[in-house]
Amino acid sequence: MKTIFVSDLHIQGLEDPTLKAFLAFLDEREGTISRLVIVGDLFDFWVGFRSVVYVHYVPVLERLWRLRQKGVVIDYVEGNHDFDLGPFFRDILKVNVIPKEASLQLDHWNIYLTHGDGINPKDRGYHILRWFLRTPFTRFLIKILPASWLWAIGKKSSHVSRHYRNVHPQTAELYRSFAQKKLEEGSSDVVILGHSHTPEEKEWEIAGKKKYYFNLGDWITHFTYLEYEGGIFRLKKFVFTGGT
């Protein structure tokens, strides 16, 4: 059985081609995966409610529910477009919600994963936005405002977040350096990041042991994902041929 890692799908609604591609991806792999790890930004916008969900996302939520019913473990690292996933994911879908970062163990591999939106210290405007969206005041507003208002506000903040995301050519090197330092200073064997929307795999030999960095890319341009099976990690590309 396989473990699948994905990030940065930024699903926007029922007619979004990415939604249709991801549903096909999950359907093709039903019965072959034991764990799905979402490393942030599955949705273009999500804040948590206990029982209310956005109709735009019902098909993918139904697929996640189906996977859970079949015993697939789902881990969800919150990103910068989907945060405060809330009771719906934890209590109803029974997803392991990870607010920032986590270490996972797959066989003999110790894996560190985080979305990656906090890596660049020079992204000051974005860091301020990220802080504000997670303040107690904002969380209070989330509880009292109608879902339709939050959807409109969220789409606006999503646009602003895109503006602040650093896409400088040196971004890839910044993420690479972060991963190498994390591998050198700790017990991790593999670092998995998202956010940069640029798929990458890198191998180093550190203290006589091979260690790896993977960036998952995105499903806007690259449609890339990471597959783990039989002790081997493979960065792959999904080819969607259409259909529903």
Domains of the chain: 2-237 (3.60.21.10)
Tell me the whole-structure pTM to 2 decimals: 0.85
CB contact set of 127 (below 8 Å; sequence gap of 6+): 118, 121
Any idea which of 51-60, 67-76, 144-153, 207-216 has the lowest mean pLDDT? 144-153
Render pLDDT for 165-182 as a digit per residue (tens, 0 to 9): 445 567 889 999 999 999
Question: Above 80 in pLDDT, residue 121?
Answer: no
CB 3 within 8 A of CB 211: no
Strand segments, DSSP code E, in the chain are: 2-6, 33-38, 73-77, 96-98, 101-106, 109-114, 190-193, 200-206, 209-215, 224-229, 232-237
- The β-bridge partners of 3 are 35, 228
Render pLDDT for 25-49 as a digit per residue (tens, 0 to 9): 999 999 999 999 999 999 887 776 5
pLDDT of residue 44: 85
CB 83 within 8 A of CB 134: yes
